[in-house]
Structure 1
């Protein structure tokens, strides 16, 4: 067995030839060892930092692997009336607040843990509670994992949620968009077939198991939901494992900026609408993450750049992807903006680094404030003055919420 000291001695003898190759190893124009090392971040010496800030970086390759982003119907907008009916919306308005659940990352294997979480959420419903009942579940993506998704919706979505009384809306995650078999092609076809039909219908994946749950009529893979006290913008962060992007690729291989253009358009529409409400942005890939999966810095910058250009600041961000609970606070413009990660819907929880309130990015304007490795769900309550979140861990032994936080919508501070 070659010792570490022997290897170091051998490395010292390696020389570069005139073409820039090491003896017996080729390098590309960026200096990567193209034969031996698979990951382009493994670069020679001090050049690594400089190279990562040029066009020669993994981001450029990643963008060539993006999938298409289908154009939504009806301008990408939908009202809560279209989902729960006029009477349901009237109950919420009379109550003076809206409540809903949120989670992601559920549909894996036999989805037994997802069913446990769903049944825990179902205890929040009471037949006589009216508007106090959650208005819906916002699924933050990765509804169904694996190849052949169309044949797995029964086991991995309809079955685990068969006793959940509420409607379920969703944004697609990377596993919803991936194409791992011919049956998954084109990308997102099965997500669209269950969440974006023109009229509600009962799919054979539900009825084949004797389950009554109608498909949803969302306008597409990205959308803006108008509800009492809140607008939610759901975005598709595409099919890469990491990071997330709002761009896509068209059939001819050219860049597709349509989702970014739509986001700017819909934000401008919102600024012109008279009724002021809380604004939530939801993406499957999280802008910030310390554990499980990394944050998507470039995606976040593109969202913030558009929001700044329009002159509107989202009140909160919701994401999944990392299989744990995390909360961050970004500060800017005199506001505190909470960012939540809740990929806690059923897949095995990932270890999460302890939250200490320390800076989470180079700007030092965002802090890492709460974390928990657990299955569970977010319970969100929004009125005209407050946005309150609670994370409920799976298990009857947990009788109090983890990390309850309230955002004052008047002064935009958290408490």
Structure 2
């Protein structure tokens, strides 16, 4: 083969479409390089208190009720077909109208890929501000690979994300147009959200498929795990998933190793791992040192192209029963999935448990007025 001809890549770079591989080592390509991180806008260790964002009466009501409700989902950017994203947001807005104020989600935690395809500032109005113009709660976020990738090499990676989510102080976002929303004041693109009942450690897993972290962020992650309060829920959020039974991306052995090394070094085990990137919903449970960890794939927030599950999972010779032990990872079981509807998670955290509800929304060709359908419910005890 001539030196200037590169071999084509096929099966080694996609999941085994006939098998049940949920966790693999991804190839690295020059088209998805590690992008340098922007300078933090806040001070280390990059914490933001929920009380700095929510009104005092809302915080007090939450504390008195001993209950915090929030939304989470990723891959929300409505490029090509904005109706899918809008359907999800419309049903999330309905939750904000709950009769009892303590049942209303206090915020939305976005799991990345806010704007497709290259994180452009010019896309923030169409893919973020206008669709969320009536979502009357704060929106936090970690970046996804599409937020950090750049097509125009003169624009620094994550420049628009920092402008809109990591502003030094809250102000009306320049891109919000006729849907005015304050910029968020997150201190960095990887950061920790402190709340009365849960600690959210958000990692930025960069552009390469399967994720990539530099030594500084890994060290910070270990420190955050070590110092996280032990009397409340511990939630880790990343964009790239650790486990996924889809036929497009699969989970990441690299990110699995990052989390395992951190747990071994610190002795801290998260109760919940939130991820996106794969455009569907999946719930896994892993047994780690005789303790269960819940892993969620929640990338069905609005991007038009949903990702199907592997045929061996979706169309097996005999129907699978949940929980379904994964053949390639006997310590991991699949509990539920949905790959044919967009949807979102509504989470409730108390001093004793994390309770999750995953709702699917109607397809575009169905009635917009049809209610969201509860697909999955789960409970994660904290003690």
TM over 0.5, shorter chain: yes
Describe the shift of the 1:167–1:304 C-alpha distance in structure 2 as closer, same or farther (beyond 3 A). Answer: same
8 Å CA contact 2:271–2:294 kept in 1: the answer is: yes
Q: Deviations over 1:298-346 (max 9, x none)?
A: 1121122112211110001111111111111100122111111111111
| TM-score normalised by L of structure 2 | 0.85
* Residue number in structure 1 paired with 2:49: 79
The answer for unaligned runs of 5 or more in structure 2 is: 14-24, 315-319, 363-368
Equivalent pairs, count: 351
Describe the shift of the 1:41–1:403 C-alpha distance in structure 2 as closer, same or farther (beyond 3 A). Answer: closer
8 Å CA contact 1:103–1:140 kept in 2: the answer is: yes
* Residue number in structure 2 paired with 1:14: none
* Residue number in structure 2 paired with 1:351: 308
Give the SS at the match of 1:164: coil
C-alpha separation in 1, matches of 2:121 and 2:327? 39
Describe the shift of the 1:394–1:298 C-alpha distance in structure 2 as closer, same or farther (beyond 3 A). Answer: same
* Residue number in structure 2 paired with 1:279: 234
2:343 maps to 1:376: yes
* Residue number in structure 2 paired with 1:236: 204
* Residue number in structure 2 paired with 1:115: 86
8 Å CA contact 2:235–2:274 kept in 1: the answer is: yes
1:58-207 maps to which residues of 2 (within 5 A)?
A: 59=27, 65-72=33-40, 73-74=42-43, 75-107=45-77, 108-109=79-80, 111-126=82-97, 129-147=100-118, 149-182=120-153, 185-206=155-176
* Residue number in structure 1 paired with 2:22: none
Deviating more after overlay: 226-235 vs 68-77:
68-77
Deviation of 1:69 after TM superposition, in Å, equals 2.5
Deviation of 1:162 after TM superposition, in Å, equals 0.6
Deviation of 1:358 after TM superposition, in Å, equals 3.6
Give the SS at the match of 1:193: helix
Describe the shift of the 1:123–1:367 C-alpha distance in structure 2 as closer, same or farther (beyond 3 A). Answer: same
8 Å CA contact 1:234–1:283 kept in 2: the answer is: yes
Describe the shift of the 1:350–1:58 C-alpha distance in structure 2 as closer, same or farther (beyond 3 A). Answer: closer
* Residue number in structure 1 paired with 2:188: 220
C-alpha separation in 1, matches of 2:198 and 2:31? 33
What value does the CA root-mean-square deviation take over the aligned residues?
A: 2.4
Larger Rg: 1
C-alpha separation in 2, matches of 1:126 and 1:225? 25
Deviation of 1:109 after TM superposition, in Å, equals 3.0
Q: Deviations over 1:247-275 (max 9, x none)?
A: 3xxxxxxxxx11101111112222xx4x6
8 Å CA contact 1:69–1:259 kept in 2: the answer is: no
The answer for unaligned runs of 5 or more in structure 1 is: 1-24, 28-33, 44-56, 248-256, 411-415
Describe the shift of the 1:277–1:154 C-alpha distance in structure 2 as closer, same or farther (beyond 3 A). Answer: same
Describe the shift of the 1:79–1:361 C-alpha distance in structure 2 as closer, same or farther (beyond 3 A). Answer: farther
- Between the two structures, name the one with larger relative contact order (CA 8 Å, sep ≥ 6): 2
* Residue number in structure 2 paired with 1:330: 286
